[in-house]
Structure 1
Amino acid sequence: MTKRIWDISPPVHEGSPVFPGDTPYQQRWAASIGPGCPVNVSEITLSPHVGAHADAPLHYAPDGTTIGDIDLTPFLGPCRVIHAIACGPLIEWAHIAHAIKDLPSRVLVRTYQRAPVEWDGALAAYAPATIERLAALGVTLIGIDTASIDPADSKTLDSHQVIRRMNLRVLENLVLDDVPEGDYELIALPLKLVSADASPVRAVLRSL
C-alpha cells in the first residue's frame, strides 16, 4: 500500500511573510535560456527563517551550534500532530493533554484553522512550561504552525531558552491545515549550512 504524504511546508515566494525586519525572499535571473546560453539560473536572497525552517542553537545562543553541525536524527522519524486550534497566545499543557499518551519523540502543534498568508503579530506560541513537560516525556523536537515558538514581541525568548537548556530541536512555520490529529512519520531535513543560524526545510509527513 502506498503511503500518503502531507506537504506541511508553505509556498516560498516574494510575497512570503517574514518576521518584521527580517530579509524577505527575493529572486532574480542570473542567466536565461537564449542565444549562447543553454540554461536558466536564478539567484536568491532570503533569511533562513523564511517558510518552514529549523532553528539552530546559534539562533538563540551566542556560542550555539550552527545548523550545518547539528544531528539530523530529531528531524526524521515518528511524530504526533496535536490540535490546539485557537488556543490563544500560548499553548498551555491543558491544550495538548488530551493527546500525550504514548507520545513519540517529535510533537507538532496546530494552532491555526487556516494558516495566514500575511504576517501575524498575534501568533500563538508555546508556554515554556509546556515545553519542559514535553521534554520530560522524552520529546526531542517540537514544531508549530506559526512563525515562532515565542510570542512575536518577546525580547527574552523564554521558550527558545528552554529548548536550548534541554537540547531540543524546533520546526517553525509549518502548515498543518489539512493534517488530522494523530501519528505520522516526519521528514524535515535542514540544509548543511555550516555557518548559519537556521535552514529552510521541505517538511513532509508520511502515513505510518
Structure 2
Amino acid sequence: MWKKNQWIDVTMRLTNDLEPWPGDTPFSYQVRLTKDQTGSANIGELTTGVHVGTHLDAPFHYDNAGETIDEIDPSLLIGKALVVDVRGHKKIGRQELERFDLDGVSRILLHSFDRPNSKCFPENYPVLREDIGPFLKEKGVHLIGTDCPSVDPVDSKAMTAHHALYENGVYILENLVLNHVEAGFYQLIALPLAIQGGDGSPVRAVLKSIPVSITKDGH
C-alpha cells in the first residue's frame, strides 16, 4: 500500500512571483480556458525559461557541441545521493569536500546556504571552485546538486565551474531546496522534461532516506 510522506520534496515551487535569473523569462501560469468555458476541463498554459526554479543544466547550455537535455541518460538522475552540509563557505571545492567520505558516492548534493525566501533571487550565494571537477572525477561522482541558482557567479561569462564539471563528466542540478533536509544518504529522483534540443529543464526533485547498511553499494 502506498504510504504518504515517504519522499521529501526538494523542488522550488514554480509560482508567478518567482524571481528568475536576471534577464531570463519569468515563470507564468494561467488557466487559459475554464471547465465552464470548455464544458469538460480546465486547460492551462505556461511560459518560462528552462532554467527556472529547480533545474538540470544540459551540457549544451555552455557548450555548443554538448548534449541537449533530451539526450541525457535518465539513470544519471535516479539513485543514491549524499547530502552534505557545506554552509559557511563562499567558495566550495576540493578543500571543502575532502573531509567527507565519498567512497561509493556517485551523486552529491550541497546544502551550501540557508535561503530565507526561495522566491527572491539571492544577492550573494556560494559558488564552486574550478578544482571541484577533477576532484569529483577522482571520487567517481557524476552528478552534483546545489541549492544555489548557479555553480558560477551571476556575472560570470567564462562559467569556469560549469566547464570544470563538464570536462570531468559531472552533470549539474541547481536551485534545490535543502533547508529541511538533514545530511546523509538518500534515494534521489530528479527527472527533466524531454525537451528536444533543450539546454536545460525544470525538474521535480525528491529524496527518500535509505538505511545506513546499504549506503556503500555505489547505487
The interval holding the TM-score normalised by the smaller chain is over 0.9
In the other structure, the counterpart of 2:49 is 47
2:73 to 65, 71, 74: 71
Instruction: Kindly provide the CA deviation profile for residues 97-134 of structure 1, in whole angstroms up to 9, marking residues without a partner as x.
Output: 22234241000101112453311131111111023201
Q: How many residues align?
A: 207
Mean alpha-carbon deviation: is it higher for 90-99 or for 185-194? 90-99
Q: What SS does structure 2 have at the residue aligned with 1:189? A: strand
Mean alpha-carbon deviation: is it higher for 165-174 or for 2-11? 2-11
Do the aligned partners of residues 103 and 85 (structure 1) sit closer, same or farther apart at CA in structure 2, a change above 3 Å counting?
A: farther
TM-score normalised per structure 1: 0.93
**In the TM superposition, what is the alpha-carbon distance from 1:156 to its structure 2 partner?**
0.3
Q: Structure 2: which amino acid aligns with 1:34? A: D
**In the TM superposition, what is the alpha-carbon distance from 1:174 to its structure 2 partner?**
0.2
Aligned pairs for 1:95-174 (under 5 A) are: 95-117=96-118, 118-174=120-176
Backbone CA RMSD of aligned residues: 1.8
TM-score normalised per structure 2: 0.89
Q: Structure 2: which amino acid aligns with 1:87? A: H
**In the TM superposition, what is the alpha-carbon distance from 1:70 to its structure 2 partner?**
1.2
Aligned pairs for 1:2-41 (under 5 A) are: 4-34=6-36, 36-41=38-43
In the other structure, the counterpart of 1:192 is 194
For structure 2, list consecutive stretches of 5 or more residues without a partner in the other structure: 211-219
For structure 1, list consecutive stretches of 5 or more residues without a partner in the other structure: none
Give the Cα separation in 1 of the matches to 2:37 and 2:204: 35
Do the aligned partners of residues 26 and 38 (structure 1) sit closer, same or farther apart at CA in structure 2, a change above 3 Å counting?
A: same
Q: Structure 1: which amino acid aligns with 2:113? A: Y
Instruction: Kindly provide the CA deviation profile for residues 58-84 of structure 1, in whole angstroms up to 9, marking residues without a partner as x.
Output: 100012111011111210111100111
